[in-house]
Amino acid sequence: MTVRTAVRKPLVAAMLGVVLGAAPLVALYSVGAAPTTARADEAPPAAVTSAQPQGGASVMLPDFTTLVKKYGPSVVNIRVIEKAPSQGNGSPFGPNSPFAPFFRGLPFQAPPQQEPIRGEGSGFIIRPDGIILTNAHVVAGASHVTVQLTDRRQYTAKVIGEDKIADVAVIKIPANNLPTVKLGDSTTLQVGQWVLAIGAPFGFENSATAGIVSAKGRTLPDSGYVPFIQTDVPINPGNSGGPLFNMQGQVIGINSQIYSRTGGYMGVSFSIPINVAMQVAHQLMTTGHVQRGKLGVIIQNVDQGLADSFGLPEPEGALVSSVESRGPAAKAGIEPGDVILALNGEAVKTSSQLPVRIASLMPGTVVHLTIWRGHAKREITVKLGSMGNETLASARHPQQQGGSLGLAVRPLTGDEQQQAHTHGGLLVEGVSGPSEDAGIEPGDVVLAANGQRVSSAGQLRSAVEKSHGHVALLIQRGSTRIFVPVQVR
């Protein structure tokens, strides 16, 4: 169902809703532990059995009984308590209110006390001395964290560190000689591969569910630095923070989120790759915080219309729509309209790949970018800054719909330029035809056409005449800037 309102449409298309599981996400790094694979003489924890339907051909199905028996005791149930908001002393005015002195000593009926907020999730032991990995959103804001093992032993856990960006946290319980999982290598995952999740959906401890890898490298809203593993494994609230196993019994992901219109599982689940989680956990364990590289650009995907506009042979790369003033990219000479094609010699096929790869590098790292500018490739060297809690880059997706541009424009006044924080530019006063189809609206500001700044209708007309049927307009709407491809008729 589509809902239309009078509110102006954003330039960035809406993305799929993501529902966080009930438990916070926590990640931990197992010092000295390296990804392992099953030996040739070791029977894999998950076997393949043959089922013979009546009157039909045999079907090969996985048998996870050995895996669950061996590694199930390493999966824990996590219960958290978050303090209820303070209700004060019942006075209608706060202690700092200028009216408070006039009401001191007067009786007020205190409002009913709210119950503490309770939640639960899952986690898994990665070190025998009580180090546990889970989601950050499982333990976020918790005043008390309790961990229960499969043998019913309970411990109060200490949160070692949490990283909200990756949704990874590390907690520790005061115990030794605990059963642990075996860590795998998430880069070896293949789409179609069988995987198993163990956790506590809806509080049902040590529940096992299975499915296959549906896709790799998925980016989600507000999670642009994690290349999620998408599966069809049934995941529900309470599964958050639990392990995702491959057929060899190795943990290759942390179950984190689901896509749902109901709040429950609908066939699409997302897990954090264990390699990403380990990078985060190692920093949490050694330094107490996480550092990420920063390029200082806003990017968007390149579709066929934009590729035609910029003369790219293929619709690939990350199109720079905005450059942070005095940021690393600006200092290196990167400009709006550049298309980043490769990072350190490795191709950037889609814009969503770039933030993940930049964020995995440490601040101060020198990277080599291959960019497309003026119908030719160029090489640029950039020294990365530190992202901290800022946004590094986010994939923006404009509304892309297919002689005349269909725009009525006028130059911005001096006051309008100051308000828009720009020099030059054209205010859109009327829109029709191709530009309307592309999503441009009255009130938008046209800053550039095919990479050339415009400050008059003549400059815009000239750029359109040279465009060979395709023009990429740099549009500003509010504080957002993005390239919009327009097919000229």
- CA atoms of 449 and 398, how far apart (whole Å): 16
- How much helix, strand and coil, in percent to the nearest 5, is found in the chain? 15, 35, 50
* H/E segment holding residue 437: helix 433-437
What distance in Å separates the CA atoms of residue 150 and residue 257, rounded to the nearest whole number? 24
- Which secondary-structure segment (H or E) carries 139? helix 136-139
**Pairwise CA distance, residues 88 & 91, whole Å:** 7
Report the alpha-carbon distance of residue 91 to residue 76 in Å, rounded. Answer: 44
**Catalytic residue among 122, 240, 260, 309, which?**
240
Using CA atoms, how far apart are residues 325 and 296, in angstroms rounded to an integer?
8
CA pair distance 385, 292, nearest whole angstrom: 8
Decide: 295 and 224 in contact? Cβ < 8 Å.
no
CA-closest candidate to residue 200, choices 18, 22, 20: 22
d(C-alpha 183, C-alpha 161), whole Å:
20
The CA distance from 74 to 383, in Å, is 42
User: Out of 163, 167, 338, 444, which one is annotated catalytic?
Assistant: 167
Known catalytic residue at 167:
yes
**H-helix or E-strand spanning residue 354:** helix 353-359
Structure tokens belonging to residue 259: 């896509």
Q: Which of 30, 137, 214, 394 is catalytic?
A: 137
The answer to whether 287 touches 273, Cβ cutoff 8 Å, is no
Backbone angles phi, psi at 100, to 5 degrees: -60, -45
Please identify which residue in the block is written with the tokens 């999730």: 121
- CA-nearest of 156, 159, 175 to 79 is 156
Query: How many angstroms from the chain centroid is the CA of residue 482?
Result: 20
Round to whole Å and give the CA distance between 310 and 339.
Answer: 9
Structure tokens that stand for 123 in this block: 């986690």
142, 121 Cβ separation under 8 angstroms? no
Beta bridge partners of 218: 228
What the block records as the tokens of 100 is 């408070």
As annotated, the active-site residues are: 137, 167, 240
